Structure 1
Amino acid sequence: MTVKLDFEECLKDSPRFRADIEVVQSDVSELETRLEKVRCCSYRSFSKTILTHLFACFLHLLPFRDVRRFKDVKKEFERSSEALEGALARNAQAPRGKQHEVEEASSALLNARKAFRSEALDYVLQVRKDMLSLMEAQAQLFQQGHQSLSELDQYRHKLNEEHTQFVLNAAREKRDMEQRHAAIKQKDMSYDDSIMDFNADAANGIAMEGYLYKRASNAFKTWSRRWFSIQKNQLVYQKKFKDQPTVVVEDLRLCTVKPSSENERRFCFEVVSPSKCCLLQADSERQQQAWISAVQNSIASAFQERREDTHSPRQRCSSMSASHLIGGGGGGGGDQEDEGYKALDEVQAIPGNRQCCDCGEPGPDWASINLGITLCIVCSGIHRSLGVHFSKVRSLTLDSWEPELVKLMCELGNTVINRIYEARIDEITIKKPHSSSPRGDKESWIRSKYVEKKFIQKLPETGRNPPLRSTTAHPPPPPCPMVSLKDQYLAPSSLSYVEEEEEDLSGLHPGALLYRSAALQNFPVMADALAHGADVNWVNMAEESSTPLIQAVSVNALAACEFLLQNGANVNQADSNGRGPLHHATILGHTGLVCLFLKRGADYNARDKNQKDPISIAVDNANADIVTLLRIAKMNKEMREMDGAFGQSGDETYQDIFRDFSHMASNNPEKLKRRSADPKT
């Protein structure tokens, strides 16, 4: 039996202390069982020799009384522990508005905490005293048998020295215990400061730990007390020390923490991540502030570690690069990263993007890439819960951004989208939430805005031109009211373009409107058509079953194609000639679009009615860049298929080449006009 109980852990009442108590109790139970067996042994089994005398002495000295005393102290400890748990629960449930109940609960908690700590200290001391009693019994036994067992004299001297040391240690611990008892009686126990230290460099990797109440996410919203800790840039909790920790926040860089006043219980705070919101409660205001500071410091430490990691050099394959394949283009990886940071600044500089699109919180660092808006972390979590068919959420600071996505974000923005999805906000009494509004209000608003679409312009019953023909199995949706589109949505550049075309879009069906606006590269009108239920894969039978994506390809609209793809456009949907978007981009020589479609999973083996695939079309057109892209994509897929189930997601060289082509298509499209006289060579 080895005693490992620590007085500091005893005062914390941590899961580690509870686990050690269970070990001690198990050892004592085993000792009690063995003593009972010895007691029942018959003297008749021993001969009338010195062994009989030694055995009788041993039975006389065994600590049966100490074992019984240990069990009594254990009962008192368990009773005070249960009383403390009940007092903690009543203190946590005391309503904020009933001061007399709060005072009664606080007073009861104070008394229960004092009683528990006193009983816990007595319990630990009793465990150590029981061990001392056993050692004393052994010492006396060997003293009485010294004359007959002189060969054990050396061991007896050693045991006697250990016994003397135990006596000294016991006296010292007794003095310490008296001082601790006196300190506990004088100490203010209205709060518990035993776990208030935050240490990011702790040897065990645990920066902060302690008990918190956690509200369940089920329908009952029950509260449970769990042992929480911050470790490895994660917030985790466990019920028992041996339990596997449950991760609350996978990466602290993706969350924020703030006090919560919308709950009836006191000392609550929220840990908000993009996927969920965890409501926690401390035992006191001081602990609440300590935990909030600890989470904030851990977030800062996580970001600092990430910045240090990103300064390390990136290993890139130099055997092949798009700059060598194209000649004189692209630049280095560092220049592209600088351009990426500059592009993100441009996204945040779009009108309205400095505040969250849905609640107005300043400095949003999240975005919905299919809607083209910026969001705060709370609203981004709500958007993520809607599903990717409504909103695709990405971090502006933590995720990598492709240049075509940045270009798409710069075409829309919060101001444009709110003109569409909040067009009737003045006619409805629902109040838009602000940055300090409860999460529930924000979630209700976002669902009404993007899922139920309560605030967009309503569709009229009659008075619209008939829609163009569609091949969709379901009946076409009702006509879309594009009243004063030029005044409401069109940018000046788009407006002049529409006037040159002399095409009135105001009476078109949503699918036809999306089809026409894709060719005009008019993003606000495209977004409005989708908001009114336009099928992103709508087919115009009057123009060879062309789709909005093929229309965008015809004018080399890279950002428009990306917008349609992010909103669910089928990259392989072919027209009546069997030609999909990749065929059309290859025929027209739009290298940037070829690169985009290949990254989005376009089928480079698809054949049109003339049995031509994109590779053969590119060879016939003598377009070396497109031939290179198609052949590298094909080779990369074949290599992955050869590797089987263990194949990687993409060769590094392949990814570097397509990354460089994407940057050129977005930033230097004139460099993709090169043609070869004989690409077959």
Structure 2
Amino acid sequence: MKYTVDFKECLKDSPRFRTSLEDAEGDIEALEVRLERLVKQCSTMIDMGKSFSSASSGFVLGIRDLANYFNDDALVSDNRKVAGSLNRFAHAMSEMLKYFNILMDQAHRSVCKNLNSFIKVDVKKVKETKKLFEKISDDMDAALTRNSQAPRSKTQECEESLNTLTATRACFAHTSLDYVFQINVLNSKKRFDILDTMLSYMHAQNTFFHQGHDLYLDLEKTYMKDIAGQVEELSSKARVEMKEMEERHSLVQKKDLGHGSGVLQPDGDLLHTEGYLFKRNSNAFKNYVRRWFCIQGNQLVYRKRSKDSLTVMEEDLRLCTIRLPSDLDRRFCFEVLSPTRSHILQADSEEDCQTWVKALNASISQAYKDTMHESDKESEEKSSTSSGAESSQGDNSSAQA
């Protein structure tokens, strides 16, 4: 509600003036309370904004860290892949955080700072003038009382009280005019000052949302639609893969778990047979341990189920003999004999045992064939070299003759 105190009424110091003055003072107090509350709420908003910004920065760092996880993925070679996409999104969110921090800074500058200045300068000036007005008003009331009580018989006292009253009235008139002036100025200034403050903040809000809109509009046009298509494609592939994996238990039915299930031969190749075997240790207890064996070239190697490195059991299978021991109580065993040691291995079934024996004998035969092929090749090369040398010598003899 608008309150404007009339200057003419203040010179009369009428009850109407005092009433309008009280209404104006109450209005200023109510305005001050609301402004202080608004500044406090704005400060709380800024503090919460800082917390939000800090938490969002942590979230962006988490996205970048997640992108680093996908660096080894097959789908992350460029910005159209998972890691590149995540980094692009993190960059966009980081830019939005910059805009948000600017908005919070503008809220502090335009709202908190300006309104605090209005309270501490303009409202405070009115309050200080009010104190002076009330003091002069009390002095005038005292001067009026003294002048009214001066006896007619004491001429000098009457003159002194009248002079004091005249001076006090003049001072009161000037002070009351100044006080009314401060009130009217504040009532006039509060309109444009507060509106200008909020307008400045609204411009900051407008800039913030425009920047965000432009940022994400550009991102959507050039990138997000493409990523949405890629997500749909990946989702379709995942659904197909899940459908295929729903038939996973049929692998158990296809695989005979009772006979010959422990040997793997990629593409039916005996020379690359692999699978689990029990290996008898060479210690005093002669206990058996389960290891993963495979044939690599002309070597027999094994490893534990964990990530331990391969251990070479036999360097050269050409020096080994494979036989079935008859003096063992354990079933499905076969022996790998070398010139220096013997290895007892046990399969899970008789069929697996026979498969391993065939595979090892095939590897030994293949190793001998490869050796003979290399020897023949070397002999041919030597023969070719010798023939070339003899031909050269014959040509030289003919030339001399």
Q: Which structure shows the higher helix fraction? A: 2
Higher relative contact order (CA 8 A, sep 6+): 2
TM range (shorter): 0.3 to 0.5
The structure that has the greater radius of gyration is 2
